[in-house]
Amino acid sequence: RCGGDADTVAAIVGAIVGAGIGAENLPQDWLHRLAEQPRSVNWIKKVATVLTVVISEQKSQCPPEVFAPLSGARNAIFLLLVLGHAARRVLPPY
């Protein structure tokens, strides 16, 4: 509720701190409440494993697959939310 880009800055700082301390040091209830479908906690762990191999062994690997139909539905919902927010911004009171 600070306005501006405070939420973006907090997300970036949280990602940096989380990468530094590791998933095992994060509160487990945070991980259980993660709802970024179709990207689950297991999918994120697979991405981390692939990145570890790529960085440590200098090998190229493909990232884990994401269930595409869920991505399309999720993006359609976000599109409706963004368009609804934009439409609301142009109606009085401004």
Alpha helices of 1-94 — where are they, by DSSP H?
A: 6-21, 28-32, 41-57, 68-90
Backbone φ and ψ for 76, nearest 5 degrees, come out as: -65, -40
Structural tokens at position 25: 């040091």
Three-state DSSP state, 23: helix
Question: How far is CA 9 from each of CA 15, 17, 30, 44, 52, rounded to the nearest angstrom?
Answer: 10, 12, 19, 21, 25
**Dihedral (CA of 11, 17, 22, 26) sign:** negative
Local confidence pLDDT in tens for the 94 residues of the chain = 666 788 889 889 988 998 889 888 988 888 888 877 777 888 888 888 888 888 888 777 777 777 777 788 888 999 999 999 988 888 887 6
